[in-house]
Structure 1
Amino acid sequence: MADLDVVAWVRVVDGRLLTVRSRGRDLLYLPGGKREPGEDDWAALSREVREELGVELDRASLRELGVVRAPAHDQPDYTHARMACFTAACRGPIAASGEVDEYLYLAPSDRHLLAPASRSALDLALAHGLIG
Structure 2
Amino acid sequence: MATIIDKIAWIHLQEGKILSTRSRGKNVYYLPGGKREPGETDLDTLIREIDEELSVAIIPATAAHVGTYQAQAHGHADGDTVQMTCYTADHHGTPTPSSEIEEVVWLTYAARDRVSPVDQIIFDHLHEAGQLH
Q: Counterpart in 1 of 2:59? A: 58
Q: Counterpart in 2 of 1:116? A: 117
Q: Is the 8 A contact 1:65 1:124 kept in 2?
A: no
Alignment of 1:38-77 (within 5 A): 38-76=39-77
Letter of the structure 2 residue corresponding to residue 27 of structure 1: V
| 1:91 and 2:66 are equivalent in the alignment | no
Structure 2 residues without counterparts, runs of 5 or longer: none
Does the C-alpha gap of structure 1 residues 80 and 48 become closer, same or farther in structure 2, counting only changes over 3 Å? same
Aligned pairs, number: 132
TM-score by length of 1: 0.94
Secondary structure of the structure 2 residue equivalent to 1:51 = helix
Does the C-alpha gap of structure 1 residues 57 and 128 become closer, same or farther in structure 2, counting only changes over 3 Å? farther
Q: Counterpart in 2 of 1:4? A: 5
Structure 1 residue ranges (4+ consecutive) displaced by more than 4 angstroms after TM superposition: none
Superposition deviation, residue 130 in structure 1: 2.5
Task: Please tell me the root mean square deviation across aligned C-alpha atoms, in Å.
Answer: 1.5
Letter of the structure 2 residue corresponding to residue 115 of structure 1: S
Structure 1 stretch 19-28 or stretch 117-126: which is displaced more? 117-126
TM-score by length of 2: 0.93
| 1:22 and 2:33 are equivalent in the alignment | no
1:125 & 1:35 partners in 2: Cα distance? 24
Q: Is the 8 A contact 1:10 1:125 kept in 2?
A: no
Letter of the structure 2 residue corresponding to residue 96 of structure 1: P
